[in-house]
Amino acid sequence: MTDVAIPRIITIDGPAGAGKSTMARILASRLVWSYLDTGALYRALAFICVEQGLDPGDQAAAEALAARLRLAVQPTPEGTVILADGLDITSRLREPEVSRNASTISAWPGVRAALLGLQRDLGTQGRVVAEGRDMGTVVFPSAGLKFFLSASPETRARRRHLELLEKGVEVSRESVLADILARDEADKTRTIAPLKPHPDALTIDSSNMDAEAVLKVMLNACRNRFFAPDDGP
């Protein structure tokens, strides 16, 4: 029998470009659970901030925007749809400039506080795979299963560079690596919710692993944690 007392939430944390979004999406699809890209919420705020002519580095302006902006999230096995004041902005959220500004805006306490309740509300439905920077440490510390996915900066830069090129974004690998190193430093040293693995998290270094190998490790952990031998995914 399945242990129903275990919260049916899986968190995947890790640095930029580690493959969190890809693995969370694949894992959610395999389990037939919802996929929640919480980083998209910060990117949404960063995008709207710039669209409204505000500076993401202006703490007061960013926190005021977070307090008034109506964000709606629709997690699905295929991805997370983000609506800002009713407008679907999902397709704009992976642009390099948006990612850089998201790293800046996510450091402000008022921004994180404004989004925390929304993120937790989305987790109450259960059967959610949530990825981000502090899912296991802050947002869902009682999640039934926590992963920390990482890879070397060079590996992450190569993967992110290819991803951007496939989307038609022309950018050099050197600039992608520089962005990743800068975001690593910002994420690890920020005062509020710094990037780090939860003590209970299963850490996976995917530097020399493809997506299928990482998925195998995750599915084995899911079977051991959530499913009896006769009802696994």
DSSP category for residue 91: G
Token pair listed for 179:
């962005």
CA–CA dist 140, 208 (Å, integer):
29
- Lowest mean pLDDT, pick from 24-33, 43-52, 91-100: 91-100
- Per residue in 188-222, pLDDT (tens digit) is 888 888 899 999 999 999 999 999 999 999 999 99
- pLDDT value at position 1? 35
- pLDDT value at position 231? 55
CB 69 within 8 A of CB 52: no
Asked whether residue 228 carries a pLDDT value surpassing 70, the answer given is: no
Asked whether residue 158 carries a pLDDT value surpassing 80, the answer given is: yes
Asked whether residue 78 carries a pLDDT value surpassing 80, the answer given is: no
DSSP 8-51: -EEEEE-STTSSHHHHHHHHHHHHT-EEEETHHHHHHHHHHHHH
Return the axis-axis angle of helices 39-51 and 96-105, rounded to nearest 10°.
100
C-alpha distances (whole Å) from 193 to each of 26, 27, 121 are 26, 25, 19
Confidence at 3, pLDDT banded by 50, 70, 90: very low
- pLDDT value at position 121? 86
Q: Check residues 86 and 125 and name the one with the higher pLDDT.
A: 86
Asked whether residue 230 carries a pLDDT value surpassing 90, the answer given is: no
- Lowest mean pLDDT, pick from 27-36, 56-65, 197-206: 27-36
Task: List the domains of the chain with CATH numbers.
Answer: 9-222 (3.40.50.300)
Residue keyed to tokens 């990743």: 180
- pLDDT value at position 227? 79
